[in-house]
Chains A and B, each alone.
Chain A
């Protein structure tokens, strides 16, 4: 937090309630800004952190996620007009992933909607959206408050995450199904008379949970988790390892795989949910929502391009690669937005925006990859196939109750 003695321009980034713990464990001092906070990019080695996600348990500081409390008589009507999904189907105690669009049907952002009560919801997004949320509220009876700072959040992800939480003393956590949330009393040893909210959600495509707590309980919860997970070598992770996992899971990331339709300056760079392969989140029959008419028109016309998964020959990640229909590279048909070598799949994978008709699974494309070989650059055309997403989807992510491993 800022102190009176330090002017804000000397210390422009906020520190999360987990910052001191993260600082102590950081081996390479690699911090990056995220939504106004300083957060860890890498603690030690990306590969180590990545393997902890897939083989043990990890802690990831989610506090910078922007959180809005939306509460009031018209909250449901409001969210249904805002979101592409039918929020009317969301029961109290459940979470839904959804996106929202501008009038042109272009994606503004994605996020998770938590239904906390009859009329109370929480929206978590990667970026601040208050202007759009407030403008959307005109004529609706509800209250919107940003509660980012009053809620600390920690993702506990990995095959042993359920066991670790049980170990920490959250009895009954194993009964929580995917996209459910529940409140637990924190064991007295951690904090007296304090509650913690846990949702079975995450950004890794693996078994995992997100913990939502008061900032004053943050350090004690972190310590308790590190202790409870000691047996399986639990470790904190930074954004880089998480990014590998989310590409394997096929999740899109704002400003990487799309730019908010309200922020793009160049025509044609905005993206619709259909183009991003998120058509399954769009309910055109639920009634009106912002962008519906434009999306109906797009559906009628058919998309011109779509986000697809790629399997690329070789083992060099195709970062920012241009994609061609032919090996000679005469006809560009798209470009890669996210790429990684997938250690678990042992495949060279990527997410890419590709023109119709090359979006069909099985299509062959060519990726133009630039390789830096000790400062000598080489260009390689790698044969590439459009494949189904997600690249990695273990059964354990859905299993209820989860195994202990």
Chain B
């Protein structure tokens, strides 16, 4: 995909990386009248939100595989519906699966199965959801706006703090107290307070640890759950699967950017950010080509941006130290299976198979799975978020065949035995775990692709192979994300901005970081 050819022209804004945040940022900048060029190293835009063939005839959303956090306002602003974004499935169901017990729907679609297992849990679930949703709604403005700074005299910062404080105050005494109480808690304690069914608790706890280097008993594990729910508050269509996979979303974002006047170059790898007089001055491509610009916006992760593309020479030691200490080692792998028939999960309805399956039979099981990661081992009994995208979108595989796409934890970036040697053992282990829930699955596998964190690092150029570019936790959130000194999308270098998942509010195909970065730039360089 390519817009106007670039040559050596000078731009207002260069965006390094055409991931979804880079494209969102470019679209908003171009709509704001800036001349924008997006430089993407891969041959297609999308970053970690792409659809690609992993076996002849089989396509899959290579990294992220569900759309649920992107605000409806952003989709509407950029007119993505009109630019090719269609949903193959929306409001997808979530079902907990386990080897030895029947599947359990854990969303609001069908409470009868839960009631049959535990009347108390069925009664407690709606109130639990409602309260978390109220807290999440109060937190949403925290996600949506650029983070205010502490200790400044700027009225914008003060207004921002007031707005956040007001939203939380408006929760009322009881909910506010609950937010303070559970905000730093571990998710197991929270779930133990409310529920008794292990399968239910395992699946509810799963969303708290998905994509993070934490187990249900890790302190602060309620926070990622609230964060995810807060983002979902404004997500237009809850859990959704775009027609053609996540790549179709990225394509529609690229069309929106092009329509607004931005240019996009693919297969253009940025090697260095040029600095002149302590300001970003453009980039040097791997080919040696130099492109000058007034502003450079990096969609790359903070470590790549500061330590590789820029270099410590232009930064202060304390700042570099903070970037180096950023916790950004992935524990999440992605498994793609090409299947010669529809997988048969024991006891699972067809409609549930069209949704999201969570393999997390109990909180103990999840915690044990996490234990291994602490010692640089992968889980002997892993947890997984599974979709069979071909149920909703037959275009992804040859007729009658299917694709299984699973996000699998825990698979630490730094594996004691090395991924080279241990890859096949991990694949077998995950397929065995799936086979126990879907007998016959192994025999139907035609091709396998595993993306370990080092693979994700290589393919998507994310330092540490972390989906969120940097661990999403209380210590790397909001006014300290990614680090103090770069938490308002600006960096110590004038004209250099960040717009990726490493910024507030984080990753998950949300696009808010890209939008906020564009706004921050245009406010500053008006």
Contact A81 B307 (CB under 8 A): no
Q: Is B425 an interface residue (CB 8 A)?
A: no
B324 touches A103 (CB 8 A): no
- Bound Cα distance from A285 to B320, whole angstroms: 22
- Say whether B319 faces chain A, with CB atoms less than 8 Å apart: yes
- Is A291's CB under 8 angstroms from B316's CB? yes
Q: Which residues of B contact A81 (CB under 8 A)?
A: 312-313, 317
B278 at the interface (CB under 8 A from A): yes
A293 lies within 8 A of B318 (CB): no
Within 8 A of A (CB), among B284-339: 307, 311-321, 324
The answer, yes or no, to whether B492 is at the interface (CB within 8 Å) is: yes
Q: Are B318 and A288 in contact (CB under 8 A)?
A: no
Do A103 and B317 form a contact, CB below 8 Å, given A138-B307, A288-B278? yes
**CB-CB nearest in chain B for A81:** B313
Closest Cβ–Cβ distance, residue B468 to chain A (whole Å): 23
| Residues of A near any B CB (own CB < 8 A) | 77, 81-82, 102-103, 132, 135-136, 138-140, 288, 290-293
The docked-state distance in angstroms from the alpha carbon of A81 to that of B312 is 9
Which residues of the partner chain B approach A132 to less than 8 Å between Cβ atoms? Answer: 317
Chain B residues near A292: list those with CB within 8 A.
278, 316
User: Which residue of chain A has the shortest Cβ distance to B310 in the bound complex?
Assistant: A139
Contact A293 B278 (CB under 8 A): yes
Main secondary structure of the interface of B (DSSP, over half): helix
How many angstroms between the C-alpha atoms of A292 and B318 in the bound complex?
13
- Contact of B318 with A139 in the complex, beta carbons under 8 Å: no
List the B side residues contacting A291 at CB < 8 Å.
316
Give the docked Cα–Cα distance between A136 and B324 (Å).
11
Instruction: Knowing A139-B307, A288-B278, say if A102 contacts B313 (CB, 8 Å).
Output: no
Chain A min CB distance to B448 (Å): 38
Contact of B313 among A103, A135, A288, A293 (CB under 8 A): A288
Contact, CB under 8 Å: A103 / B312: no
Q: What 9 pairs across the A-B complex have the smallest Cβ distances?
A: A103-B316, A103-B318, A139-B312, A290-B316, A136-B317, A290-B317, A135-B321, A288-B314, A81-B313
Cα separation A77 to B314 with both chains bound (whole Å)? 11
Q: What is the CA–CA distance of A132 and B316 in the complex, to the nearest angstrom?
A: 11
**Chain A residue at minimal CB-CB distance from B313:** A81
Q: Which residues of A contact B319 (CB under 8 A)?
A: 103
Interface residues of B in 423-441 (CB under 8 A from A): none
B492 pairs with A138, CB closer than 8 A = no
B325 to chain A: closest residue by CB: A135
Whether A293 lies near B492 (C-beta < 8 A) is: yes
A138 pairs with B316, CB closer than 8 A: no
The contact sample of 24 A-B pairs, CB cut-off 8 A, is: A77-B313, A82-B317, A102-B318, A103-B317, A103-B318, A103-B319, A103-B485, A135-B317, A135-B321, A135-B324, A136-B312, A136-B320, A138-B307, A138-B312, A138-B321, A139-B312, A139-B313, A139-B320, A140-B313, A288-B313, A288-B315, A290-B317, A290-B318, A292-B278
Q: How far is the CB of B272 from chain A (nearest CB, A)?
A: 12
Closest B-chain residue to A105, C-beta based?
Answer: B316
How far is it, in angstroms, between the C-alpha of A73 and the C-alpha of B458 when the chains are bound?
28
Q: Is the CB of A138 within 8 A of B324?
A: yes
Residue ID in chain B nearest A288 by CB atoms: B314
| A293 in contact with B311 (CB, 8 Å) | no
Q: Which of A77, A135, A293 contacts B320 (CB 8 A)?
A: A135
Contacts of B313 in A (CB 8 A): 77, 81, 139-140, 288
* A residues in contact with B275, CB < 8 Å: 288
Q: For residue B211, give the distance in angstroms from its CB to the closest CB of chain A.
A: 27
Select from chain A the residue with minimum beta-carbon distance to B484. Answer: A103
B316 CB contacts on chain A under 8 angstroms = 102-103, 290-293
In the bound complex, CA of A103 to CA of B321 (Å): 11
Complex alpha-carbon distance, A233 and B97, angstroms:
92
Would you give the shortest CB distance from A53 to chain B, in whole angstroms?
37
CA distance A304 to B319 in the complex (A): 25
Q: A288-B278, A293-B278, A293-B492 are in contact. Are A140 and B312 (CB under 8 A)?
A: yes
Min C-beta distance of A7 to chain B, whole Å:
35
CB-CB under 8 A from A293, the residues of chain B are 278, 316, 492
Chain A residues with Cβ under 8 A from B485's Cβ?
Answer: 103
Query: Which residues in A have their C-beta under 8 angstroms from that of B324?
Result: 135, 138
Q: How far is the CB of A290 from the nearest CB of chain B, in Å?
A: 4
Nearest CB to that of B308 among chain A residues?
A: A139
> Nearest Cβ in chain A — how far from B271, in angstroms?
15
A132 to B, closest residue via Cβ: B317
CA distance A81 to B315 in the complex (A): 8
Query: Least Cβ distance of B255 to chain A in Å?
Result: 38
B166-210 toward A: CB 8 Å interface, digit per residue (1/0)? 000000000000000000000000000000000000000000000
Minimum C-beta distance from B257 to chain A (A): 32
Instruction: For residue A221, give the distance in angstroms from its CB to the closest CB of chain B.
Output: 37
Bound-state CA distance A288–B319 (Å) is 13
Beyond A77-B313, A81-B312, A81-B313, whether A138 also contacts B278 by CB under 8 A is: no
How distant is the Cα of A141 from the Cα of B240 in the complex, in angstroms? 48
A136 to B317, CA, bound (A): 5
Specify which chain A residues have a CB less than 8 angstroms from the CB of B492 in the assembled complex: 293
A residues less than 8 Å from B314 (CB atoms) = 288
A140–B312 alpha-carbon span in the complex (Å): 8
Q: Taking each of B315, B317, B318, which has the highest tally of chain A beta carbons within 10 Å of its own beta carbon?
A: B317
- Alpha-carbon separation in the docked complex, A140 to B320 (Å): 12
The CA-CA distance from A235 to B109 in the complex, in Å, is 93
Selected contact of B311 from candidates A82, A135, A139, CB within 8 Å = A139
Q: Which residues of B contact A139 (CB under 8 A)?
A: 307, 311-313, 320
Contacts of B321 in A (CB 8 A): 135, 138
CA distance A102 to B319 in the complex (A): 10
Instruction: Determine the distance from Cα of A32 to Cα of B362 in the docked complex, in whole angstroms.
Output: 63
What is the distance, in angstroms, from A292's C-beta to the closest C-beta of chain B? 8
Q: How far is the CB of A371 from chain B (nearest CB, A)?
A: 43
Cα A288 to Cα B494 in complex, Å, equals 13
Nearest neighbor of B312 in chain A, beta-carbon distance? A139
Near A by CB (< 8 A), chain B positions 447-496 give 485, 492
- Which residue of B275, B320, B492 has the most chain A CB atoms within 10 A of its CB atom? B320
Q: How far is the CB of B485 from chain A (nearest CB, A)?
A: 8
Please name all residues of chain B whose beta carbon is closer than 8 Å to the beta carbon of A138 when the two chains form the complex: 307, 312, 320-321, 324
Q: Which of A77, A139, A292, A293 gathers most chain B CB within 10 Å? A: A139
B18 to chain A, nearest CB (A): 26
B317 surroundings in chain A (CB, below 8 A): 81-82, 102-103, 132, 135-136, 290
Q: What 18 additional pairs, Cβ within 8 angstroms, besides A82-B317, A102-B317, A292-B316?
A: A81-B312, A102-B316, A103-B319, A103-B485, A135-B324, A136-B312, A136-B317, A138-B321, A138-B324, A139-B311, A139-B320, A140-B313, A288-B278, A288-B315, A290-B316, A291-B316, A293-B316, A293-B492
